[in-house]
């Protein structure tokens, strides 16, 4: 009897050791520490009530801002999007963002990347217009940095007026010279009044230099849990407060001067400093890398469509919020979640980012039929 009990104790101890050493367990503990919380799988009823009160009718937003397919329109009028990103290490992220923009319905999608990344990204799809103009420190001598930086910015600048939105950050990397060039590109986009969606390493850049977007109402930040934690610590000099997440997000957006922030999570929270909206449509339990890139490309297109409709004299948007950045975030969040759900229905555990991208068109068609 004693031997059996000892065996069970040893077995339980072994299981505990295996669990504690597993990557999944370590990631769970890391995330819990990041948000400063404890293990609690059941949302508090007050939190659920708050989210329900903030939940927006995302499908009505999508239907309102998605333009009809009109044979009298010409190429580019349904959206001309540019992704600033792509370096030696990261070529998938800019492709995912740019191709998602096309799958949503943009007419043209550009990628401005480094020379090393360009052939790889071009090989993924002939649909993208790829500009190999960005440079990294390793290929630039100290004495040439100023002239090459000016050349890089000028190459992007000559296209700027054609774009309806920039997506800055997917696959950008953190090379100092490259980030300096992109900082200048952001400043030029602001001067041209071009909307900017900032994701990935673009958020690393902006978190360390908030003035790049501070006070720019056409800027959208799309942080994940760790990016949001760094942003809150930098701007609000505090820790993330999940107990009163909407109010903290509102304060953060106000503190940065009215930019729109899409805080990614179990429910996506969106704020421009005046209002907070939530998108809680069920997506997918599969968390493959690249979904944030789909989101940034999707938000860029919907933002540009919302802006066109709001600026048009015959705008039919009856939604209480008329900020195109907020509307773009609502629509982008919802369409990604629907596409992820549809892809998971078919692929289950094998779902990858490409599967979700292929479901974007059907997800939009189900909400807003083309015919």
Say whether 144 counts as a known binding-site residue: no
Say whether 288 counts as a known binding-site residue: yes
Q: How far is CA 326 from CA 54, 61, 207, 222, 362, in A?
A: 13, 10, 20, 12, 23
Say whether 88 counts as a known binding-site residue: no
Strand pairing report for 260-263 and 268-271: antiparallel
Say whether 226 counts as a known binding-site residue: yes
Say whether 63 counts as a known binding-site residue: no
Say whether 239 counts as a known binding-site residue: no
Say whether 291 counts as a known binding-site residue: yes
Strand pairing report for 80-84 and 165-168: parallel
Phi and psi (nearest 5°) for 223?
-75, 145
Say whether 289 counts as a known binding-site residue: yes
**How is residue 292 written in tokens?**
């944030």
Say whether 45 counts as a known binding-site residue: no
Which of 46, 39, 47, 188 is CA-nearest to residue 112?
188
First and final C-alpha spacing in the chain:
74
Q: What is the residue whose two structure tokens read 């083309």? A: 370
CA pair distance 146, 184, nearest whole angstrom: 12
Environment class of 356 (CB within 10 Å of its CB; exposed 0-12, middle 13-18, buried 19+) = buried
Name 325's Cβ contacts closer than 8 Å, sequence gap at least 6: 195, 217, 218, 219, 220, 259, 260, 272, 303, 306
**How is residue 135 written in tokens?**
């440079």
Environment class of 271 (CB within 10 Å of its CB; exposed 0-12, middle 13-18, buried 19+) = buried
Contact between residue 105 and residue 331 where contact means Cβ atoms under 8 Å apart: no
Say whether 105 counts as a known binding-site residue: no
Name 233's Cβ contacts closer than 8 Å, sequence gap at least 6: 239
3-state secondary structure of 319: coil
Say whether 265 counts as a known binding-site residue: yes
Helices (H), the chain: 2-21, 23-35, 45-54, 58-65, 92-104, 118-124, 145-160, 176-191, 201-207, 225-235, 245-255, 291-311, 324-347, 353-358, 360-367
Say whether 141 counts as a known binding-site residue: no
Say whether 4 counts as a known binding-site residue: no
Say whether 157 counts as a known binding-site residue: no
Say whether 323 counts as a known binding-site residue: no
Say whether 176 counts as a known binding-site residue: no
Phi and psi (nearest 5°) for 109?
-140, 125
Say whether 156 counts as a known binding-site residue: no
Say whether 293 counts as a known binding-site residue: yes
Annotated binding site for ATP: 264-268, 283-292
Annotated binding site for (6S)-NADPHX: 171, 224-230, 293
Annotated binding site: 171, 224-230, 264-268, 283-293
């Amino acid at each position: 009897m004693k031997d059996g009990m000892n065996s069970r104790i040893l077995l339980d101890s072994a299981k505990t050791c295996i669990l504690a050493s597993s990557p999944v367990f370590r990631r769970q503990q890391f995330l819990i520490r990041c948000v400063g919380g404890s293990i609690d799988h059941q949302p508090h009823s007050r939190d659920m009530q708050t989210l329900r009160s903030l939940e927006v009718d995302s499908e009505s937003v999508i239907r309102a801002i998605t333009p009809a397919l009109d044979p009298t329109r010409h190429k580019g009028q349904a959206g001309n999007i540019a992704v600033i990103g792509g370096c030696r290490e990261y070529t998938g992220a800019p492709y995912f963002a740019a191709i998602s923009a096309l799958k949503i319905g943009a007419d043209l999608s550009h990628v401005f990347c480094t020379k090393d990344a360009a052939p790889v990204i071009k090989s993924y799809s002939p649909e993208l217009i790829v500009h190999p103009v960005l440079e990294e420190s390793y290929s630039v001598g100290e004495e040439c940095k100023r002239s090459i930086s000016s050349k890089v910015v000028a190459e992007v600048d000559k296209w700027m007026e054609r774009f309806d939105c920039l997506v800055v950050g997917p696959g950008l990397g953190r090379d100092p010279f490259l980030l300096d060039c992109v900082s200048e590109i952001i400043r030029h986009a602001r001067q041209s009044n071009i909307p900017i969606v900032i994701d990935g390493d673009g958020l690393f850049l902006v978190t360390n230099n908030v003035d790049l977007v501070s006070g720019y109402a056409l800027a959208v930040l799309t942080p994940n849990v760790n990016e949001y934690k760094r942003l809150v610590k930098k701007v609000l000099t505090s820790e993330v407060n999940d107990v009163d997440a909407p109010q903290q997000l509102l304060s953060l957006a106000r503190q940065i001067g009215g930019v729109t922030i899409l805080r990614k999570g179990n429910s996506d929270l969106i704020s421009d400093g005046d209002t907070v909206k939530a998108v809680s449509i069920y997506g997918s339990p599969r968390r493959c890398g690249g979904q944030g890139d789909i989101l940034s490309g999707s938000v860029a297109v919907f933002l540009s469509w919302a802006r066109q409709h709001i600026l048009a004299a015959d705008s039919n948007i009856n939604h209480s919020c008329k900020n195109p950045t907020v509307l773009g975030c609502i629509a982008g969040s919802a369409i990604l979640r629907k596409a992820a759900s549809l892809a998971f229905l078919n692929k289950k555990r094998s779902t990858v980012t490409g599967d979700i991208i292929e479901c974007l068109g059907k997800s939009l068609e189900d909400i807003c039929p083309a015919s």
